[in-house]
Structure formats: structure tokens, C-alpha cells
Amino acid sequence: MMGSSLLAAGLGTGAFLAGLLPPLAQTGWRPFLDPIHLHRQWFLLLVPLAFGIAVTYRAVRVATFEKFWRKVLILTFQIVLSMMLLGVGAYLFIQIAAPMLLPMPE
């Protein structure tokens, strides 16, 4: 076995584990080292994040799983809509209210 020969050669457990992995897995995507390039579409990640939060919340909070997925979709929609409204509110505050409250010296 190739892995045991690496371990016997004194190359350590890292080399031992690397010998066990198929070559394709060694060259694959590394999530924290090679992040996905979604710089222009980052806001689209809000939907799966909200869905995951809704599934987890509903799974813990419901007594029965009747209409579970319907409630999850409603909560997902509420989270996404709330985040959009918070974004619009923050934009309006920064563009309109903040200049009136804190005028810049000229």
C-alpha cells in the first residue's frame, strides 16, 4: 500500500493522508483558501442564507411538521424582504438624514 510506505519512510501523517486521497481531490476547490468569485453577485447569497436560517429555526421551534415547508418559505421571504428594507432605510438615512443632522463644514 502506498500510504503505509509513506508513513514507514517517516514522511508524517500529512503525507500519509495525501497518499490516500485521489489526485482529483488534491487539486480541487479549497473553500477558505480559494473563495468563490461572486463580487458582483454577493447579494444573491442572501437567499440560501435566509433559507438555511429559516429551516433551522422552524425545525427547532415547531411542535409538528405540518405545513413545515410552507412556513419555511414564508420565513425565508420575510427575512429577505426585511434585509432589503433595512438596506433601503440605511441608504436613505445616509443620503438624506445624516447630511441634515451632521452638516459638513465648508
Residue 13 confidence (pLDDT) above 80: no
Percent of the chain clearing pLDDT 70 (strictly above): 75
**Whole-number Å distance between alpha carbons of 14 and 18:** 6
Cα(first)–Cα(last) distance of the chain, in Å?
76
pLDDT at 89: 97
Higher-scoring residue by pLDDT: 12, 98: 98
Q: What's 106's DSSP letter? A: -
Query: What contacts 47, CB < 8 A, 6 or more positions away?
Result: 76, 80
pLDDT at 23: 58
Residues 50 and 73 sit within 8 Å (Cβ to Cβ): no
Q: Which residue has the cell 493522508?
A: 17
pLDDT at 32: 80
What are the tens digits of pLDDT across the range 17-69? 666 666 556 667 777 887 778 888 988 999 999 999 999 999 999 999 999 99
pLDDT at 47: 96
Residues 28/31/32/38 CA torsion (nearest 10 deg) = 120
Task: State how far Cα 33 lies from the chain centre.
Answer: 15
